[in-house]
Amino acid sequence: MRTIRTSDGILGRRNIEEEEEEQQQQLNINTSSSSSSTSTSSKTQKWLKRRERLLVILGIILHAVYMLSIFDIYFKSPIVHGMDPIPPRFKQPPAKRLVLLVADGLRADKFFEPDSEGKFRAPFLRSVIKDKGRWGVSHARPPTESRPGHVAIIAGFYEDPSAVTKGWKANPVEFDSVFNQSRHTFAFGSPDIIPIFCGALPHSTWNTYPHEFEDFATDASFLDEWSFDQFQSLLNSSNDDPKLKQVLLQDNLVIFLHLLGCDSNGHAHRPYSSIYLNNVRVVDRIAEGVYNLVESFFKDNQTAYVFTADHGMSDKGSHGDGHPANTDTPLVAWGAGVKYPKRVFHTSHPDDGFRFVDEHMHDMPTPRDWGLSTTERVDVNQADIAPLMSALLGLPCPVNSVGNLPLGYINLSEAEEVEAVVANTKQILSQFLRKSQLKQTNSLRFKTYKPLEKYYSFVEQIEDLLSGKDYKAAMEISYTLRRLSLEGLHYFQTYDWFMLMTMVTLGYIGWMVYLVLHVLQSYTSFPGNVYRKTNQVYLCGFLLMGVISVLMFLERSPPLYHVYSSMTVFLWTQIFSEYPFLKAMWKTLSGSKVDVIMKLLATCAVSIFILEFLVYSFTERKLYTLYFLIAGVVASIYLLTSVRERSLAPVFVWVSCWFLSIFTLMPAEIPDNTLLVFASGAIIILIGVGARCFESSIQGHKNWLGMLKYDQQNPSSPMLFYVQILLVGLSSGMVWLSTSHRTQNQELLILHQLVNWLIAGFSMVLPLFSPTGLVSRLTSIFLGFAPPFLLLSIGYEAVFYSALALVLMAWILFECAVYSFRRTQADSNFLKNVKGKIILGYDERCLQLSDMRVPLIFMVLFNVAFFGTGNFASIASFEISSVYRFITVFSPFLMAALLIFKLFIPFMLVICAFSAVTKLIRVSRLGCYFLVILCSDVMTIHFFFLVRNTGSWMEIGNSISHFGIVSAQVVFVLLLFALTNIYTKDIQIESRRSSSLKAM
């Protein structure tokens, strides 16, 4: 019996010289061929290897670049520079100073509703709503994260969704804010937020606590107390510091307190927990304390107060998407320049068609349990808060602000109201004019925004009406001009949309066509010469690339525009350079029989149907349930008819598929269930024992023996197996121990943390020392990754790990049966390939049309792994509590790394099974990888057109997530191939070639 062993390499490619030597030994090749022929063959081998490396690199670069294209097309940064601030023409500003309190992560409903005893959690702010000020709901726009939320509140514009990827950098893009326009700003709070606005601001005084204070295992309300104490110390210090006192007594002063407690407690304990709800009371006490301190210090009634939140908190303790729990935040304003409460006696309003940025209707009814139905509610978009604060201080709006001044809050005379609105409108108009100017300067064929071609007539008309004191008409025209200016900003935001969409679409199609040509040339028995190229095509391609680049240079297009066009032209140049092969392919297809053409079309149709099924499964996870219910029945029937020996394999395949089908019916938000995670350890141990029993009993089944168990004379060592079982048991025990101790004592012991890290790390190394038989190695990999996955699990996803492993084993059994059933055809094709395709490795055959099922099944299993650990396709699907058995102190990079590693573990199991399948059916893993990428790109181009920038922002956020996930598969599938190759490269399979030759 001859064995093969895969050597290292990113996709498990074998050394070609060794393959040639083995081929010569097995096939008794005559070594009397000429030295020139050998030299040519060696050069060809090296050229083919180099070509494939370049193809993989090109794929990574292309997907990375085209992934960025959606931000150039849909979500370009709205920031432009060069506008002058436009202050409102007030005689006297309504307030001398302003206090901004932002309770990070505070949900509107938890703030306004009563507790279980009927008492309200924020009695002070509730008294303000009833007696002193105005209230409403501030509607945030996704991504509902801290940075974009604070930018909207303080700077008045919505950062493009890619801003969330910038993390908490101080100012990756410079922008104006209320703080910039102020005379001086005092700020205290989180080190992740305060430096964004004050880090480079000379007229500011600020302080933050250390990152180590943000420990999710504790009650984080002390962070809010810290901010209050800092402000109190500041006021006390001013009594002994005349300079500080002088700064405090200036007008146009802003005081900002960032209160992080609700956000940290919401992540750690959920917004329904007593800790989170008690933090609402803490925030209310701080608001009362700040109010009393300020009023007793200044004693002039010239302070305005604004209390709000940057985002809410979902029921599972996360935020990011457009769910109302994340977008609805409280807004309370009172003090100098703010209107007093207004009583209302109607509780229902007709739908006037107005929609906020989170798609909420205007004048939505107030929930009855809030007890505020008789007090007028004024909802705003989150960006409207910046113009409100600017107007209260008599300052210009931030120059990039797109917020509308909410007149329902500010107490001004009719003339001052119009002046404030006009200043707000002119600020937005100045942005439009600046964008129009920049685009006109850079465009060879400029198309203006026609509704504002004569914008100056609007401005002149407003000024004439103000002079004549016709304030009502001036207000109406100002609103019209503001609406047109915002529409004009959107027009220039999407000015290059059509050109970029066309270019990127052609690029994706070109990449897919080029990939198909490479697979046909290198991995199939399709006739055609891979080496002949048409050089004239390259000359035309480079000329076209140069012309496009010159035109873009004249228009001063961004560098990425040049990259998009160059990559698209390059791909199509490569395709047309294959003209001889294209001609030969067309000749072969046109001369083929009808049944061959029909088989090809049917395979394409089925493939596209399955891939479209996967596209829609991103929004309807239940489709996977239907798929596995059908697949379980079909696969088991096939095994019954194809396997001659009596076996339980059909039953196993059927039960495994039906078991996995349950998990896509589970809620996307994984509920905590420590007992289930603990019990999952026992399930994993049972599966490991079952696999070992299967390996022992397989000796009586000739059909399975040769493929699934390599060497009967080298049985697997029981010691390693027992150690792995012990580690799974220990990890289950640590899940219970760590969680219960952290819950009871509000801390994670260093000892528990150290033990968890050691178990996870040690268990992942052990599979490298396991026997090289297929079942032995795969079982060891399954047991090796079980401990870290259990320690990172919080609920049903721990059971999903076992269900997925069972289905992967069922897939391997199914492929064994398919290959065994078609053995004669496979052997004849295999011998033919030795002469025809030198790119194939030893004991590999050419790809056939029926082999398309392997990448398709892989795509289904790979994508279902996305959803088995929750709704990974949502922007807010990362369950941060998963890492609490390893770390609780806030560390975004380490926490993100642990979350990504947890999500990658199911993918690694799928790819290990994929590697085993390609070895079993004797096809090139690299060839199948290219088919996987082809399938992935069919989905990618669909998701590219599904990206949205209008409508519900929950849908917009998810559409970006879906496109990013599928587009990135070319990269992380490659990375996972490299990682799993460490574990699968030593798997040994019986050589089909040796048995084929013996039979001949």
Looking at the structure, do residues 816 and 931 belong to the same domain, yes or no? yes
Secondary element (H or E) of residue 335: strand 328-335
> What pLDDT is stored for residue 997 in this prediction?
36
Looking at the structure, do residues 272 and 398 belong to the same domain, yes or no? yes
Helix ranges (H only) for 524-577 are 535-554, 559-576
pLDDT at 400 over 80: yes
Mean pLDDT of 315-341: 91
Which pTM value belongs to this model? 0.70
Nearest to 133 by CA among 372, 396, 423: 372
pLDDT at 186 over 60: yes
pLDDT at 492 over 50: yes
User: CB within 8 A of 309, min separation 6: which ones?
Assistant: 102, 103, 104, 105, 106, 107, 108, 111, 138, 149, 262, 329, 330
Read off the pLDDT band of 949 (50, 70, 90).
low
pLDDT at 197 over 70: yes
Looking at the structure, do residues 229 and 310 belong to the same domain, yes or no? yes
Mean pLDDT of 919-942: 89
Give the amino acid at 653: V
Strands 303-308, 328-335: pairing is antiparallel
Residue 607 lies in a domain: yes
Q: What does pLDDT average to over the chain?
A: 83
pLDDT tens-place string over residues 208-220: 999 888 887 788 9
Instruction: HSE, CB side, 13 Å, CA atoms: give it for residue 198.
Output: 25
Number of domains in the chain: 3
Read off the pLDDT band of 823 (50, 70, 90).
low
> What pLDDT is stored for residue 764 in this prediction?
93
What's the chain's length in residues?
Answer: 1000
Looking at the structure, do residues 564 and 679 belong to the same domain, yes or no? no
Residue 835 lies in a domain: no
Looking at the structure, do residues 562 and 672 belong to the same domain, yes or no? no
**Residue 134 in tokens:** 């105005």
CATH number at residue 158: 3.40.720.10
Residue 683 lies in a domain: yes
Read off the pLDDT band of 876 (50, 70, 90).
very low
Residue 281 lies in a domain: yes
Residue 800: phi, psi to the nearest 5? -55, -35
CB of 953 within 8 A of CB of 359? yes
Nearest to 779 by CA among 818, 751, 749, 812: 812
**Residue 891 in tokens:** 């560390």
Residue 717 lies in a domain: yes
The angle subtended at Cα 544 by Cα 539 and Cα 549, nearest 5°, is: 125
Residue 750: helix, strand or coil by DSSP?
Answer: helix
Residue 476 lies in a domain: no
pLDDT at 284 over 60: yes
Residue 715: phi, psi to the nearest 5? -65, 155
Q: CA 552: distance to chain centroid?
A: 31
Looking at the structure, do residues 389 and 532 belong to the same domain, yes or no? no
d(CA 676, CA 670) in angstroms, rounded, equals 12
Read off the pLDDT band of 855 (50, 70, 90).
very high
Residue 435 lies in a domain: no
pLDDT at 535 over 50: yes
**Residue 507 in tokens:** 């690029």
- Alpha-carbon dihedral 933, 935, 940, 943, rounded to 10 degrees: -160
pLDDT at 169 over 80: no
What is the span of the domain harbouring residue 188? 97-349+360-412
Looking at the structure, do residues 560 and 664 belong to the same domain, yes or no? no
pLDDT tens-place string over residues 718-745: 889 999 999 999 999 888 888 887 777 6
pLDDT tens-place string over residues 213-270: 888 778 899 999 999 999 999 999 999 999 999 999 999 999 999 999 999 999 988 8
Q: Which of 391-395, 421-425, 575-579, 826-830 has the lowest mean pLDDT?
A: 826-830
Q: CA 331: distance to chain centroid?
A: 30
The angle subtended at Cα 329 by Cα 323 and Cα 334, nearest 5°, is: 165
Looking at the structure, do residues 575 and 615 belong to the same domain, yes or no? no
pLDDT at 296 over 70: yes
> What pLDDT is stored for residue 839 in this prediction?
56
Looking at the structure, do residues 713 and 565 belong to the same domain, yes or no? no
Looking at the structure, do residues 404 and 532 belong to the same domain, yes or no? no
Residue 57 lies in a domain: no
d(CA 127, CA 379) in angstroms, rounded, equals 19
